Homo-oligomer: A and B are copies of this chain.
Amino acid sequence: MPTYKAPIDDVNFLFNDVFQIDRYNNLAGFSDASADVREAILGEAAKFAEEVLQPLNRVGDLEGCVRHDDGRVTTPKGFKEAFKQFADGGWLGLSAPVEFGGQGLPVTLTQTVAEFQTSANMAFGMYPGLTQGAMAALLVHGTDEQKKTFIPKMVAGEWTGTMNLTEPQCGTDLGLLRARAVKQADGSYKITGTKIFISAGDHDLAENIIHLVLARIEGAPAGIKGISLFVVPKRKINADGSLGAANGVSCGSIEHKMGIHGNSTCVMNYDDATGWLVGAENKGMAAMFVMMNEARLGVAVQGLAMSEVAYQNAVAYARERLQGRALTGPQSPDKPADPIIVHPDVRRTLLTIRAFNEAARAMVVWTSLKSDVAHRSGDAKERQVADDHMGLMTPVLKGVLTDTGFANTVLAQQMFGGHGYIAEHGMEQFVRDARIAMIYEGANGIQALDLVGRKLPRDGGRAAMAFFAEVAAFAKEHGADEAMKPFIAPLSTSLGHLQQATMWLMQNAMAKPDNAGAGATDYMKLFGLVVFGYMWAKMAKVAQDKIAAGDAAAYLKTKQVTGRFFMERLLPETAVHLARIQSGSATVMELPAEAF
């Protein structure tokens, strides 16, 4: 059975040393999250993840969710009790506004807690994750009455939330959606249509489920300009706030899927269900986009979380499994064989995962802090810079963290040999669960297009230029430091690759957009590598300073070595991505569709 231990020390290193989040104490909520408060919250979150959620992970996979003949959907044994505990612990409202019963703490903290929960039990973590997403949409676009009606109940975990976008004929291209809304005399709408792949669409964890649904109002324009957002509760709500009759929405079936069996992925049927408009008519896409950055950051964290838990279990196995001898001669001569962690190829694999995990976690904290600044700063310029950063980094985070996170679960599984293929060890579940994160919230190919087609050129490339300048300034500042050379030299080379790729796209993709499309995924990966390289350089510098100041903690040395591994083995991939981008689209577009 797999185990999990929340990486609190690494989070503290990032919070306290690398990003020094106490510097943000001028922002609402940050002064309430002082070091001791953070420590208490992280400790409790770790405990809950390790002791309550993790033991339910395999049960969830084995049992899955069940739709009964009467239409009820039940979750795996133990999920209901765990969700109650979770809600009672106040975890749903950690960053929600105080006026609605939340604690108003930084999103940075919530994302860290989400990492722990997801590592322990990804399928479970999606129920609160979607609730938080629905809350975010209502907080930005809902009426005061909608907020008052829904948010406190969702913060308390009495009600949960969902997002209903996909239909059988459309996922990426929501302009094709057919669900329709008919306005009623009382201002409400009757919603009718079928939605698929609805995570947490129905279940027994809460007494009500608040569906956010994209639909087309009668007579609305075709395409994405005619889509509106509605809030549709599973059970109607009486004037006094108590629960009323069932609404016209039901789970038609539960999808049979590769993983995340503990989460109920439903086909949802809307049949004259009563709903209310959220935001303006025909502005549903805009309403969705507002919360897209946070939702995608949340999915990115899933990639990291699965990679982390897979890593931990692979390390434990590599330390225990006795098989063969070290190439340099027996290391444990008293035992029948050496533990496989003596082998360079095993270490190479483990370090590949670890070097990603720690850089990815740094990138998440870095970007989450920008999210907090973008939402909470009183300074318009500061908000704009932070918002630029969020917009640019979101597709990179989502695409790269989920692609690499998944690949790392496969690497970790490999460490187990045949045992990794057997369900009991839990490694294959990590692979199956992690796979979905590359697909939902915009498949990763779409993230890449979002990056090169929208985020990169926006405002004349302002966000990307700011990032390049920041990295270049860091490299300049520390370039003369001998100890930092193993970090600064490769980082500068790879930043150069990214700048060349950016230049190439500017020169070649305007007139010929297929050049952008053909290079998009490589550009996203190249971008991610450079960000990781920057994160590693920052972490290495902090570790170096702490060591120089007399801190003898072993993890500081580990940081430096892992960072060097990243620079030697992973960052050089930027050259290949650049070459691919520069190869353009001619060959890719040459064949007719029937030749494939």
Interface, chain A (partner B; CB < 8 A)? 166, 169-173, 175-176, 196-197, 255-259, 315, 318-319, 322-324, 327-328, 336-337, 339, 341-351, 354, 406, 410, 413-414, 417-418, 420-424, 428, 431-432, 435-436, 438-440, 443-445, 448-449, 513-514, 516-518, 520-521, 554-555, 557-558, 561, 564-565, 568-569, 572-573, 575-576, 579-580, 583, 585, 587-591, 593-596
Contacts and interface: CB of A to CB of B under 8 A. Distances in A.
B327 A517 contact: yes
A259 to B, nearest CB: 8
Contacts of A420: 439
Majority SS at the chain A contact face: helix
A587 B561 contact: yes
Contacts of A435: 410, 413, 421, 428, 431
B595 A558 contact: yes
A337 B173 contact: yes
A170 B322 CA distance: 8
Which of A176, A564, A595 gathers most chain B CB within 10 Å? A595
Contacts of A595: 554-555, 557-558, 561
A548 to B, nearest CB: 19
Contacts of A351: 587-588
Given A347-B589, A555-B595, 20 more contacts: A170-B323, A171-B418, A173-B324, A176-B323, A176-B337, A255-B422, A256-B424, A257-B421, A327-B514, A344-B588, A345-B518, A346-B445, A349-B445, A351-B587, A421-B436, A554-B595, A561-B595, A569-B583, A572-B580, A573-B576
Nearest to A578: B572
A69 to B, nearest CB: 21
A350 to B, nearest CB: 6
A160 to B, nearest CB: 21
A336 B414 CA distance: 44
Given A513-B327, A589-B344, A414 B443 contact: yes
A500 to B, nearest CB: 15
A537 to B, nearest CB: 16
A568 B519 CA distance: 12
A422 B596 contact: no
Nearest to A555: B595
Contacts of A341: 593, 596
Contact of A443 (B197, B417, B594): B417
Contacts of A256: 422-424
Contacts of A354: 596
Q: 4 tightest CB-CB pairs across the interface, nearest first?
A: A344-B517, A258-B428, A344-B518, A327-B513
A227 B50 CA distance: 44
A47 to B, nearest CB: 24
Nearest to A517: B344
A407 to B, nearest CB: 8
B572 A432 contact: no
Given A173-B323, A565-B587, A596 B350 contact: yes
A434 B182 CA distance: 48
A259 B346 CA distance: 24
A399 to B, nearest CB: 11
27 contacts: A169-B322, A170-B323, A171-B323, A171-B417, A171-B418, A256-B422, A257-B421, A257-B422, A258-B428, A327-B516, A344-B514, A344-B585, A345-B449, A345-B518, A345-B520, A346-B445, A347-B588, A414-B439, A417-B439, A421-B435, A428-B432, A554-B595, A565-B587, A568-B583, A569-B580, A569-B587, A575-B575
A596 B172 contact: no
A449 B417 CA distance: 15
A558 to B, nearest CB: 5
A513 B343 CA distance: 10
Contacts of A345: 445, 448-449, 517-518, 520-521
Contacts of A342: 593
